[in-house]
Each structure stands twice: as C-alpha cells, then as structure tokens.
Amino acid sequence: MVDSYIYAALLLHEAGKEITEDSVKKVLQAAEVDPDPSRIKVLVESLSEVNIDEITKTPIMAPTQLQPVVEQPKIEEKKEEEKKEEKKEKEEKKEEESLEGLSALFG
C-alpha cells in the first residue's frame, strides 16, 4: 500500500505536476485506493527536500545483483568439499565395520 503513495508522487512528477497533498490524494482516489492523509502528508514533506530527477537517474540494482559473482563458485566449492568429506567418513566407517567383522573370525 505504501508503494501506491510513492508511485502516485512519481506519476505526478513525470507529468510535470506539483506534488501536493491534494494532488497525491486525487491520484490515489483515481486508482481506487483509500488515501491515508497522514501518510500523504509525510510523503509530501519528505519529497520536498528530494531531487526526484537525480534519484530516478541512478539505476536501482536488485539485491541479487549487488553480490559479487565470484562468491557463487566458492559456495559450490564448499558444498563439493563437504560431500567429499562425508563420503570419506562413510568409507572409513564401512572399513572399520568390515575389519571388526574379520576380527571376530580370527578372534
């Protein structure tokens, strides 16, 4: 719901209209959203100190794009190492168990 308020302000800005409490309210009502006057007031006051043109020029990256690609192979390498260690442990246990069985024969 909060996004609707921001979108309304961006729509007004893109249309070259002044972002006022009344104009945001009208846009929200046109979108069939029940406007909250206190949220509108906070939004308009907050945006009065912001250069929207400057913000919209900056590309927004999704959180997944912020992570370096280099980290992904490291994670895969760790998983492979863990699998190898698990296999090694299982083989050692099997070997111990088979040796125990042999000792019973010669015991």
User: What is the pLDDT, as a whole number, of residue 79?
Assistant: 81
For the chain, report the end-to-end CA distance as a whole number of angstroms. 77
| Cα 10 from Cα 4, distance rounded (Å) | 10
User: What is the pLDDT, as a whole number, of residue 96?
Assistant: 76
Q: Which CATH number fits domain 2-60: 3.40.50.970, 3.20.20.70, 1.10.10.1410, 3.30.565.10?
A: 1.10.10.1410
User: What is the pLDDT, as a whole number, of residue 106?
Assistant: 63
Question: Could you tell me which residues come within 8 angstroms of residue 9 by beta carbon, excluding any fewer than 6 positions away?
Answer: 19, 24, 43, 44, 47, 52
Instruction: For residue range 39-80, list pLDDT tens digits in order.
Output: 999 999 999 888 888 888 877 665 555 555 555 556 777 788
Closest by CA to 21, choosing from 1, 5, 3, 2, is: 5
Q: In this structure, what token pair is assigned to residue 43?
A: 């939004």
Question: What does the DSSP 8-state code read for residue 100?
Answer: H
Look-up of token digits 């009208």: 26
